[in-house]
Structure 1
Amino acid sequence: MARIGEVQAPAATRDALARGRLRASLVPDLLVEARRIVNTVIAGWHGRRKRGIGENFWQFRPYVEGDSSRIDWRRSARDDHTYVRDREWEAAHTVWLWADPSPSMLYKSTGASVSKQSRALVLALAMAELLSRSGERIAWPGLTDPFTARNGAERIAAQLMHAGDLPAKPDLSGIRRFCDIVIASDFLDPVEETMEWLDVLARHGVRAHLIEVADPAEETFPYAGRTEFTDPETGDKLTAGRAEMLGDEYRLLYTARRQELASWCKRLGWSFTVNHTDRLASDALVRLHMAMTADGGYAGSGRAGMIANSDQPGKVVA
């Protein structure tokens, strides 16, 4: 049987301690990679800059009757128009970050450049770096409380290295209204279970941004002939005499799962992005930036949900 893919560190799939050690060994290099990616996209990262309460100058704009902003007489003296000086909104926002630690995330096919776990952690750490540089509060459910720090990504990385076993699905009930959360996972659980887990966020008025991390082999099902499949969660095995006979039905179910989850996110005003492990992680960050800064802000903007495929840079369906 030809091997198309395998779980990275197979012993770690059902051993919580082994998974923790594997994650700890990966995090330092992943933090370096996350910072490298951030440096490639930071020029286009505008945060949530808009008019509001703050100390820093934002813009001059023409005065309109009833305007509550003070007239800037120095600027107005330069021509025949009256201008007001706006300041930049500086209220810090809280963004929660989470990367799925499930055993299925350890999978890496021969066509992928990294495992799903590595990609999810890189995306989460890169977001931590970007948000920290922007002065936002960040947090990791079940690991840290919200905090603001220029070295936010480094602090979260340190926590991940010493966390040991992490819950497959953390308690999200403590995340409150007007926060955002970024969730990187393969979302291979039944859609109903995923919706039930995330429903508390919708009820609390939290805006979620889901990044589905997908291995190319999981999507295309390139298997043929006698093939043995192993469940990374339970260790159960299935041997198919002619694996290619399962391909059409598998791809149909795989696509239906993704479409159902994406449609649900859109109805809630959440964003849904797909990032393949044989493509660039920076693609997902760009899509995430578009979703998070829609309407000039984060949660509570009322923006319709966005669905993006990171492999199609010009395609965003809103």
Structure 2
Amino acid sequence: MNINIQHIEPKAINQLPECCSIAVHCAESRLSTFNQGVILRQYIKHDMVRMELIEYDFQQEITIEFEFEKPVMMMYCLLEGDSKLYDDKKQKLASNTANTCQLCYLPRGTYHRFFSEGKHLAFILFFKEGWITQEGSRFPLLSELMDHYRQRDAFFFSMPRYAAPKSIITALNKMNASASMPDFRMDTAIHNMTLSCLKQYCSRHYSSLANSAYKQGKAAEIEDYIKCHFAEKIAENTVALAAIFLLSEKTMMRLAKLAFGQPLHKKVIELRLTHGLKLLMTTDRPINEIAFRAGYHDAHYFSRAFKKFMGVTPNMISRPWIKMDS
């Protein structure tokens, strides 16, 4: 079902409804109700950012239509549920699952967000011009994202999706404790929460890069080793191979597939039979010796495997190095 959120008049409320799972006492609240569900928005306005905690409770699948009158740069954290974001042409822009976070830029325009039946909880940080000017330089990782915002690009842009910051709920509870304190204390709490969310996102990004570099390095080691030892028995022994690289067998197999683009056993077969073909075409060695040098201890098995892979038997390969009987 499609719902245009602009057509539902939200009600200002002084008391949060029973559907509220997290109360933000320092926030303003708006409740939108319709036959198929409820949307509760709690939001905090600040000079630098706008924070929104939105709870959805739907009795069926819902697609919400909404509009941004000007470009936005935001951090979208889905703490519970799942959703998908589409543009006005119904092209999917992003998929969000529970406990994930994504930084993105959206140009002005109409958007559609799909939700499945059930409860969903989202925390959103909208960054204002002042924050980008004063604080943006502290986060070089976000430079490309901020450039899209400054230039008012006409296309959606997003950064990688990572696990949502663990401190969001804790920070909101701390802000509740500051609700009755002077405004400058609240400003500090909002500022600290924003920095914490961004620092955790950046930390996850750099950790991901380091992990990726480590995996690529290990994959290259496995690739080099297999290319040198494919004809040996160890190439078939995944447990022994994993021990060589100080990895679990499962991880070693996954990295081998990353290196070769196919499962390890298939790559070993390819290397062995390709090497066998090379020996057939460039030497006068007998087939049983070639089979052994290619990693097969049974010439008949080598011949069957060769035919299956190459489409012809070893005997059908032209062997110019063999002297023909006169």
Same fold, judged at TM 0.5 (above): no
Classify the TM-score, shorter chain.
under 0.3
- Who wins on radius of gyration, i.e. which is larger? 2
Higher relative contact order (CA 8 A, sep 6+): 1
Q: Whose strand fraction is larger, Structure 1's or Structure 2's? A: 2
Q: Whose helix fraction is larger, Structure 1's or Structure 2's? A: 2
Using structure 1 for the length normalisation, give the TM-score: 0.24
Using structure 2 for the length normalisation, give the TM-score: 0.23
